[in-house]
Amino acid sequence: MPHISAKDLKSNYDVIVVGSGAGGGQTAYTLAMEGVKVLMLEAGRNYDPASETPMFQENFRAPLRGASTPDKPFGFYDATVDGGWQVPGEPYTNASSEPGRKFEWWRSRMLGGRTNHWGRISLRNGPYDFKPYSRDGLGFDWPINYEDLAEYYDRVEMLIGVYGSNEGLENTPNSSPGVLQPPPKARAGEVFTRHHGRKLGLPVIPIHRAVLSTRLDSKTIPAKLHPRNPRAQSILAQAMDERAACFWATPCGRGCSIKANYQSTTVHLPPALATGNLDILSDAMVSELIMSDAGKATGVKFIERKSRQEMQVKARIVVLSASACESVRVLLNSKSARYPNGVANSSGKVGKYIMDTVGARLSGQIPALENLPAHNEDGAGGGHVYVPWWLYREQHAGKLGFARGYHIEFTSGRQMPGMGTFSPLDWINGGRYGRAFKEDARRYYGSFIGYAGRGEMIPNEDSFCEIDPVVRDKWGIPVLRFHWKWSEHENRQAAHMQQTFADLISAMGGRVRSAPEKDGSKAIEPGGSIIHEVGGAIMGSTARNSVTNQWCQTWDVKNLFLTDGAPFCSNADKNPTLTIMALAWRSADYMLEEMRKGNL
């Protein structure tokens, strides 16, 4: 069973998985490895990282030196296909055009979805992150504890390969022994930050990223992940052997033809396909669920993009993993006399509590980093270190004026020059040209450093999405309309970020590029721009207050599951992808168990 075309669809599957990214990839993987017949529907085109990834291409080979454009917002060589904050022919709307009230929605239309280009930062939620309401009275508690997910974090990390270290810091969980791969050494700017950050009490530690710093141990990991399933073990061992370790070149955002980093297309899908249990149909844009009179989901309607035909396919279980907002859109568009507000929406909560990550940044120039001897700092194509949230005690004592924390990511080093690399020279030298300009470029290259805060947003009643009453996309499917508002918790957190970065740059003897904003609403980046949107179909402990239970199973429709970010009922500062995968694996295990019991 392989990549198929619409005419090869079978009349029935065990499970339909809508979406092929982190959540869909993990769900399909877990089910297919255990013998379940799965159909994956992907709205975008098929995509092959082995032949399509621009490994080693320098910017001079690209149009506009690889600079970002509306066609390729993260630059020409970014892996994203047919995506960005706008997708051609597939609009969305915002209810307000006021500053700070708009939400920007990043999508891609390709097999593997956003996993092909993501930052690969793989941080675990900690114990506090599952019980935020109990801790400070804001937002919602999850119906699970850290302990419920810890085992799945271990499994995902072993499967995809995550580098990092166990530091034992507060609410920053260790992985089980032997799970993490060794982290790469810190770069010059990172080492320098670590040294001077101590004065401010900032713990600079290895970040966790889904990049292989060594080859995966295909002799032992498969048996740990698939006990009592020799076939799955042998398929996974072979898939692991096809992945090379990072060779410390080519930014991860391009994807990776040697499969050194995690993307669904190189890690989840190949072994799942090798089982023979997975069919993948690309160019299949799902529009709505098909429901039975008995209130079960019997399949989905979709538009085959090439023929523009509306088609249907059936299964025992339907899993939406189309990305949080896209899954919400499918639920809300599945309207009928019986479901006037869409499917799985008896609570009225579908679309509510959309969250992104709080983002703010500041950059500076560090004289100590000038004129360093030439050395290779490409590394793993992303940060090697970060600062986890370090002020839990002060925050809990109410000293900070905002309720949730953030972590700090770094941009530093002698990276491959791009269009913006030397733009800050005017700021430093007042504006020169000629031989002096060339000398300055040599002197200051690698001395610029940037810090970005990534913080927790608390779910609120003003940030949600609904179906736009008028606008439809080019397939005729009604689109989403967003409502957005940051609370003072997020704004103050953003101001705190910039002040911290200014203090840090000063502590390093550096110059701050711009003064930190005291007004956080000026520092905070627009909703959606960090591309960590979650929520919209939150999980909870009662059908009245939430859309799914702890298994990502909708309360109203028991054979309907959501395994992307939609069930998140809080959005810790930890980047959500690893948690999406851990929840998806746990949910798929539950499906297997319920199928075995005959309940599904």
- Near other proteins in 511-570, by CB under 8 A: 525-526, 529-532
**One residue of 3, 45, 485, 522 binding other proteins per CB under 8 A:** 45
Q: Which residue has the tokens 């409502």?
A: 483
Nearer Cβ to other proteins (54/270): 54
**One residue of 8, 71, 394, 488 binding other proteins per CB under 8 A:** 71
Q: Which of residues 346-375 bind other proteins (CB under 8 A)?
A: 359, 361, 368-369, 371-375
Taking the complex as a whole, the smallest distance from the CB of residue 59 to other proteins amounts, in Å, to 4
Token digits for 213? 């710093």
Nearer Cβ to other proteins (37/208): 208
Considering only the stretches 62-70, 139-147, 475-483, 533-541, report the one whose residues sit in contact with other proteins under the rule CB under 8 A: 62-70
Q: Is the dihedral of CA 77, 78, 79, 84 positive or negative?
A: negative
Angle at 114 between CA 112 and CA 119, to 5 degrees: 120
Nearer Cβ to other proteins (338/435): 435
C-beta separation of 39 from 13 below 8 A: yes
Please provide the DSSP assignment of 258-323 as one string.
T--B--HHHHTHHHHHHTT-EEEE-SEEEEEEEE-TTS-EEEEEEEETTTTEEEEEEEEEEEE-S-
Nearer Cβ to other proteins (17/452): 452
Nearer Cβ to other proteins (383/459): 383
d(CA 337, CA 357): 37
d(CA 224, CA 329): 37
Considering only the stretches 72-80, 338-346, 456-464, 488-496, report the one whose residues sit in contact with other proteins under the rule CB under 8 A: 72-80
Taking the complex as a whole, the smallest distance from the CB of residue 145 to other proteins amounts, in Å, to 27
Nearer Cβ to other proteins (343/480): 480
Token digits for 220? 């032992």
Taking the complex as a whole, the smallest distance from the CB of residue 383 to other proteins amounts, in Å, to 6
**One residue of 19, 24, 25, 84 binding other proteins per CB under 8 A:** 84
Q: Which of residues 429-468 bind other proteins (CB under 8 A)?
A: 430-435, 437-438, 441-442, 445-446, 450, 452
Nearer Cβ to other proteins (136/440): 440
d(CA 499, CA 419): 28
Taking the complex as a whole, the smallest distance from the CB of residue 318 to other proteins amounts, in Å, to 27
**One residue of 54, 206, 388, 510 binding other proteins per CB under 8 A:** 54
Q: Which of residues 177-236 bind other proteins (CB under 8 A)?
A: 184-188, 191-192, 195
Considering only the stretches 11-19, 197-205, 410-418, 495-503, report the one whose residues sit in contact with other proteins under the rule CB under 8 A: 410-418
Nearer Cβ to other proteins (118/555): 118
Nearer Cβ to other proteins (162/591): 162
Q: Does 252 bind other proteins (CB under 8 A)?
A: yes
d(CA 413, CA 401): 34
Any residues with CB less than 8 A from the CB of 213 and at least 6 apart, and which?
A: 163, 181, 182, 183, 184, 245, 246, 380
d(CA 100, CA 113): 27
Please provide the DSSP assignment of 80-125 as one string.
-SS-BSSBTTB--EES--STT--B---B--BTTGGGGTS--B----
φ and ψ at residue 216, rounded to 5 degrees: -70, 145
Taking the complex as a whole, the smallest distance from the CB of residue 77 to other proteins amounts, in Å, to 6
The alpha-helical segments, DSSP class H, found in 350-391 are none
Q: Does 163 bind other proteins (CB under 8 A)?
A: no
**Residue (of 599, 438, 455) closest to 523 by Cα position:** 455
d(CA 382, CA 361): 16
Q: Which of residues 375-394 bind other proteins (CB under 8 A)?
A: 375-380, 382-383
**One residue of 133, 392, 422, 590 binding other proteins per CB under 8 A:** 422
